[in-house]
Amino acid sequence: MDPKETSRHSSVLIIGASRGLGLAIARQYAARGARVIATARGESAPALSALRHDHPDTVEIERVDVDDPAQIDALATRLGERTVDLLFVVAGVSLAPVDEAAADISTEDFVRTMTTNALGVMRTVERLADRVSPGGTIAVMSSGQGSVTNNTTGGFEVYRASKAALNQLMRSYAARRASEGRTLLLLAPGWIRTDMGGEGAGLEIDEAVPPLVDTVEAQRGTPGLRYLDRHGATVAW
Ligand SMILES: NC(=O)c1ccc[n+]([C@@H]2O[C@H](COP(=O)([O-])OP(=O)(O)OC[C@H]3O[C@@H](n4cnc5c(N)ncnc54)[C@H](OP(=O)(O)O)[C@@H]3O)[C@@H](O)[C@H]2O)c1
């Protein structure tokens, strides 16, 4: 194996890995030799089960729904004293069509988008941070659409707002925990063909995820919060 492709994070916990980008990230880390704990929220996650079958000694499957604080607590309890080098929270939803104005979304969908993409992610980060080794990395899947500066075209109004909220919440987290010395990352992976990204997306999962993981790997051991695209370039807040 190319040494570049051996994971610098030797153990990773990936939240939201049943399909899409989270699953592909779990596959990348398993292929790079890391110990992987990958979570799904349903009882059945066939693609993750197949990954575990291929890597029986290094891949574990856990369960958590980030909308449910009790499930996050239960996961933390099950992990016990175990630590990981990387916590990567990938879970997210996009519930409204591109052209739906924020004022037209149902209150239920607004609350669910904000709960999963911002509050649920931050609860997961807060509750599991102690399971990340000192000097380890906490990565969170944001989006280029979370950039306030770059929002000149509009669209996906509530989804954008949820990722901007996530970015702001991570800045507050980073300020409050600045002395801890962990690497904190908000990632903008690009527009990728997944269930969420849709058929019109410009990138295949296999094009986007390896460079994204390379970027997370390159950031290991560099404390502080950064908002980066998959190639490691800074995204304007
Ligand atoms: N695709 C893109 O173009 C793109 C671009 C920028 C950012 N992103 C972000 O990347 C992340 C993954 O997106 P994707 O394209 O892979 O989407 P996806 O194919 O729709 O997959 C979403 C994943 O999140 C999980 N999830 C959703 N709600 C959850 C919850 N409450 N608790 C735990 N897991 C939950 C899903 O689990 P279930 O299978 O149980 O539903 C699934 O594993 C999201 O945060 C998204 O906003 C995607």
Q: Whose CA is nearest to atom 7 of ligand 1?
A: 143
Question: Ligand 1 pocket: which residues have CB below 6 Å?
Answer: 16, 18-22, 40-42, 65-67, 90-93, 116, 120, 141, 143, 189, 191-192, 194-197, 201
Centre a 10 Å sphere on the Cβ of residue 168 and count the other Cβ atoms it contains.
Answer: 14
pLDDT in tens, 44-99: 899 999 999 999 999 999 999 999 999 999 999 999 999 999 999 999 999 999 99
Residue-range domains of the chain with CATH: 3-229 (3.40.50.720)
pLDDT cut 90: percent of the chain above it: 96
Which ligand 1 atom is the nearest neighbour of the CA of 23? 43
Residue nearest to atom 19 of ligand 1 (CA): 20
Phi, psi of 29 (to 5 degrees): -65, -35
* Closest residue CA from atom 40 of ligand 1: 41
Q: What is the mean pLDDT of residues 209-223?
A: 97
Looking at ligand 1, which residue's alpha carbon is closest to its atom 47?
92
Q: Say if CB 225 and CB 185 are below 8 A apart.
A: yes
Q: How far is the CA of 179 from the centre of ligand 1 (A)?
A: 31
pLDDT score of 142 more than 50: yes
CA–CA separation, 9 vs 2, rounded Å? Answer: 16
pLDDT tens-digit profile of 177-198? 999 999 999 999 999 999 999 9
How far apart, in whole angstroms, are the C-alpha atoms of residue 186 and residue 170? 8
In the predicted model, what is the mean pLDDT of the chain?
A: 96
- Point out the ligand 1 atom lying closest to the alpha carbon of residue 142: 7
